[in-house]
Amino acid sequence: MAFTHTPSRLTLLWLALSLPAVTWDFLYVTFRPHTMPGGSIHSPVWLPYALYGEVDGNYGWKQWHAGSGFPAAQSWMNLVETVMYLIYTWIWWANKDEVTGEIKGKRAAAAVLTGFAAGVMTESKTVLYWLNEICSGYENIGQNDLFRLLVLWVVPNGLWLVFPATQFIYGFGKEIIDGLAGDEAEKPTYSQVVKKNRAEKKEL
């Protein structure tokens, strides 16, 4: 039986929202200080970073003046991840069944492996970002009160822990394991469940 893959609507929604956001973030970091408050291209595209730079010193003048390379380094990793997610999306879009959204065979395997690798990269980098704050005594975010920290740092950054872990590492990882197990896999793969649910909804 050929390997098959059908992305969930949640996976596609996450990609549609996160990829533009990460690209926006990458451009902000790459073109500092011109994208920062007072810079020639700060307004209107990067106006929200005036506030976020106060919430997280990695994005503000604090680390820019300190000459820290961490913000730029993690941003270049973001670019690599984004390219990998785009490759996954392109493989799926170019080969999907117009009715079910399913892809099969080597293309399906390549898409799932690429998405899984990108998810592991995103999760690892995000964990590193959090650990950098914890291990430095919250050097860049310790100035915030609890409410501001939760709303403007913990929740937004937490999304990049939850979605890659659930959609790409667990979901795609399960598909890879089930595909390798072959006939030993007793339960349907994640993609097969998605495909079945879509078929049942169309029958109603």
Type of residue found at 100: T
3-state secondary structure of 178: helix
Provide the pLDDT for residue 196: 74
Single-letter residue type at 191: S
Closest CA to 193 of 9, 14, 6: 6
What per-residue confidence (pLDDT) applies to 48? 97
b/e per residue 72-96 (b: at least 16 CB within 10 A) = eebbebbbebbebbeebbebbeebb
**Percent of the chain's residues with pLDDT above 90:** 87
Nearest-CA neighbor of 179 among 102, 104, 125? Answer: 104
**Per-residue confidence (pLDDT) for residue 175, from 0 to 100:** 95
Contact predicate 144/55, CB 8 Å: yes
The residue ranges of the chain whose pLDDT is under 70 are: 183-190, 202-204
**CA-based angle 55:78:57, to the nearest 5?**
20
- Predicted confidence at residue 157, as pLDDT, reads 96
pLDDT score for 201: 72
Q: For the segment 70-99, what is each residue's pLDDT rounded down to a tens digit? A: 999 999 999 999 999 999 999 999 999 999
| Distance of alpha carbon 76 from alpha carbon 84, whole angstroms | 13
Under 8 Å between Cβ of 118 and 85: yes
Strand partners, 103: 5
